Amino acid sequence: MKKSKKSHKISDHFSKKDFECKCGECKYSVRVSLGLVGGLELLRTLAQRRITIKRAFQCPKAAEKEVKFRRNLYATGLAADIVIADKAAEEAFLLAEKVPEFITIGLNLDENCIHVNTRKDPEKKRWVQKNQEEIILNDENRPYFFTS
């Protein structure tokens, strides 16, 4: 009888390993929202490119270091920082805006990636991080960051 291999795949293109905490110390089970995974799958289809997850789930110890947010969406499995292969971060941001699951999208120019999250909020939020400053996107400043 053949031994079955345990699969860690959670979708066509992502596995639990993609979402693991990057602290290097923990052994916590990964928590990830299926809405986030679905949104990333849709984004991958739109981009027709591989998506690399730079940061997703964070264990309590790693999340504790994040003092910027009252509620750490990485710790709850609702957020990810990503890069799309062969796409500039600005281009990835514009593609991510087409994914209805993403409530908040951030363009992180400091780290050349985008942030996406699927938190429960009726209002969509868009921001840019540049020189360690978070700038809320609006109609007036958007052309400064995006030419199209």
Per residue in 86-140, pLDDT (tens digit) is 999 999 999 999 999 999 999 999 999 999 999 998 899 999 999 999 999 999 9
Q: What CATH class does 16-145 carry?
A: alpha beta
Query: Is residue 27 predicted with pLDDT exceeding 90?
Result: no
pLDDT per residue over 132-143, tens digit each?
A: 999 999 999 999
3-state SS, 83-102, equals EECCCCHHHHHHHHCCCCCC
Please report, for the chain, how many H helices and E strands are present, in that order.
Answer: 5, 6
